Amino acid sequence: MNTSNNELAILSIVLFVTGVLLYTKGTRRAPLPPGPRGIPFLGNMFQFNVMRPYPQYLKWAQRYGPIFSVNLGGQRIIVLNSSEAADELLVTRSKLYSSHESPHVGFDLVSDQQRMVFMPYSREWKIVRKNVHGILGPGPSKQMRKMQDLECRVMLHDLLCHGDTSIVEDFVEGPHGKVPERHWFSIIRRYTTSLMMTLVYGRRIHRIVDNPELHQVYEMMSNITHVSQPGRYLVDALPILRWLPDILAPWRAEGRKMHEWEMDFWGKLFSDSRTAFLNGTGLNGFVQSYLRARAEAGLEDLPGKGATEDAAGWMRDKLITYTAVSIIEAGSDTSSTAVFSFVLLMLSNPDVLRRAKEEMDAVVGSSRMPDWEDEDRLPWLTACIKETLRCAPPLPLGIPHKADEDDIYNGYLIPKGSTVIGNIWAIHMDPVRYPDPTAFKPERFYNPDGKFNWASGPDTHNRDHYIFGWGRRFCSGKYLAEASMFIVLSRLIWAFDFYAASDLQTGKVKLPDVHDVDTFTDGLVTAPKIYPVGFQPRSEKYAEMIKASYRDVQNDWQSMGLAGDKR
């Protein structure tokens, strides 16, 4: 936990007063869930890495069972470690748990209370959710499949040209997971980000190298996942600190500065789109479509944040801006993370990879690329994707919920205001549900005889994994994400013999250890740190098909009025 000298100087006094108030209140109707013993006033604050809590949370889950609690100063955290506990509270009792924890720095200061992912269950959240679902729901998301197909063909061409660059050149990852622009990670990131930018703003990311826009998107996404992690700032745990004057509250200036940084980028994207719309040159995208509908309702000019108070609930400019941010963040970072984890796990399990290639050759062959119609016919590949999401969930603790009222579960009190975490990592590592849970075994999900089902929710029955969350806060982007994962990973298997670097002296393959938490970044989203991989076309025929497809795509961009690729 990062604390300043000023914060530490007043911490003991604030905690003492808080402890006295809690003691004298005397409203406990039941005991709190079990948990590790802390130290007076500070609780469990220094017993685990708050930026990477899931390894320690798993150990405590194994010790204390399906529910435990920890205390970060004044912040009570309730951790749910079984699917039964998470389903009961976050789905069945969703009326009490549909708010998300709203970190003071990440939500109030950096996001000016406009970022959907941290909003309480409120009227504004419902307005945003309705609009997001209108473009990401099961029906609307299929309209993006043409873009997914075309952008994926560009990705294949970029990997073909990339070859062994990530192996023969030395790359160093920057702070907070910053990826060098010539590393193969940037190729995957361009795909996911271009897709979401087209959906939201009607504009592509058509260049990788010398394109600060692409890399700034990920820099800002990395920043928000770090500043919003529970326990990152003392003020998140102790709301009373929010009353301190600026001179004693350095996080306030830091948060406001980050908000200005975000608005310099995201705000400019919105203002440029609004100007283009007013000039009649706006492209097709969520923002332009929404501005058009709002103008037709007589609200062309609607500055400020939040939404109008009338029944229509029109979003004001800043809320539109951050709704666009939320869509781009959700669809870019987690999808690219899943691809990086898939490649790492497949290379770490060569027999699994070999079987996926054999299935691909038998079903698709060498005369065409796989398409979505092949989902039912590639059960081993889809099982590999599911097992990747189980073994390496992009958000191992999901997005923290909040208890809006006191509640009792299994005889334990969950106090109002508690942060409530669905421990996806512990659920996915349950040895009863998933025998030998640390092993990568796609056969858990292999079903060669039945129709393919992602089985990822929101239905609580027969779920194979929990990466998209629970209840009313279930991820709207699931359908788009699953379509992207299938088309990208199936074509990656079809097109390339991808391989890891080898030690020049021993000849042994050099791969990060998938069981080492240091292989992954910290923060809300945990992605593999960069690692070298080479991409070799499976034959010259495949290479020529990829090149021809890339040339054809450039004609598609021109006919659609979108920027062609620059390499």
Residues 344 and 492 in one domain: yes
The structural domain count of the chain equals 2
Q: Which CATH number fits the domain that encloses residue 270?
A: 1.10.630.10
pLDDT at 28: 55
Would the pLDDT of 553 be above 90? Answer: yes
- Token digits of residue 147: 């873009």
Residues 192 and 219 in one domain: yes
Confidence category of residue 244, pLDDT binned at 50, 70, 90: very high
Q: Identify the three-state secondary structure at position 118.
A: helix
Q: What is the percentage of the chain residues whose pLDDT exceeds 90?
A: 83
Residues 251 and 268 in one domain: yes
Domain encompassing residue 125: 97-395+430-560
Binding site as annotated, residues for heme: 475
Q: Is the residue at 567 inside a domain?
A: no
pLDDT at 24: 41
Residues 189 and 202 in one domain: yes
User: From CA 60, how far away is CA 429, in angstroms rounded?
Assistant: 13
Residues 424 and 434 in one domain: no
Would the pLDDT of 25 be above 90? Answer: no
pLDDT at 214: 86
pLDDT in tens, 106-138: 999 999 999 999 999 999 999 999 999 999 999
pLDDT in tens, 362-378: 999 999 999 999 999 99
Residue, of 403 and 20, whose pLDDT is higher: 403
pLDDT in tens, 186-216: 999 999 999 999 999 999 999 999 988 888 8
Residues 333 and 421 in one domain: no
Residues 406-411: what's their mean pLDDT? 97
Residues 292-303: what's their mean pLDDT? 95
Residues 76 and 152 in one domain: no
Q: What angle do CA 222, 228, 231 make, to 5 degrees?
A: 125
Q: Which CATH number fits the domain that encloses residue 28?
A: 3.30.43.20
Contact criterion met (CB below 8 Å) for 274 and 128 = no
Q: Is the residue at 1 inside a domain?
A: no
pLDDT at 284: 84
Q: What is the pTM of this model?
A: 0.93
pLDDT at 283: 72
Which of 485, 507, 506, 489 lies closest to 498 in space, CA to CA?
489
Strand-pair category, 419-422 with 75-80 = parallel
Residues 74 and 103 in one domain: no
Dump the DSSP string for 246-268: GGG-HHHHHHHHHHHHHIIIIIH
272 DSSP β-pair partners: none
Q: Is 138 exposed, middle or buried (CB count within 10 Å of its CB: 0-12, 13-18, 19+)? A: exposed
Would the pLDDT of 20 be above 50? Answer: no
Residues 373 and 421 in one domain: no
Q: Is the residue at 181 inside a domain?
A: yes
pLDDT at 180: 93
Residues 344 and 360 in one domain: yes
Strands (E), 46-104: 67-72, 75-80, 99-100
Residue, of 25 and 53, whose pLDDT is higher: 53
Binding site as annotated, residues: 475
Residues 474 and 519 in one domain: yes
pLDDT at 4: 52
Residues 224-244: what's their mean pLDDT? 90
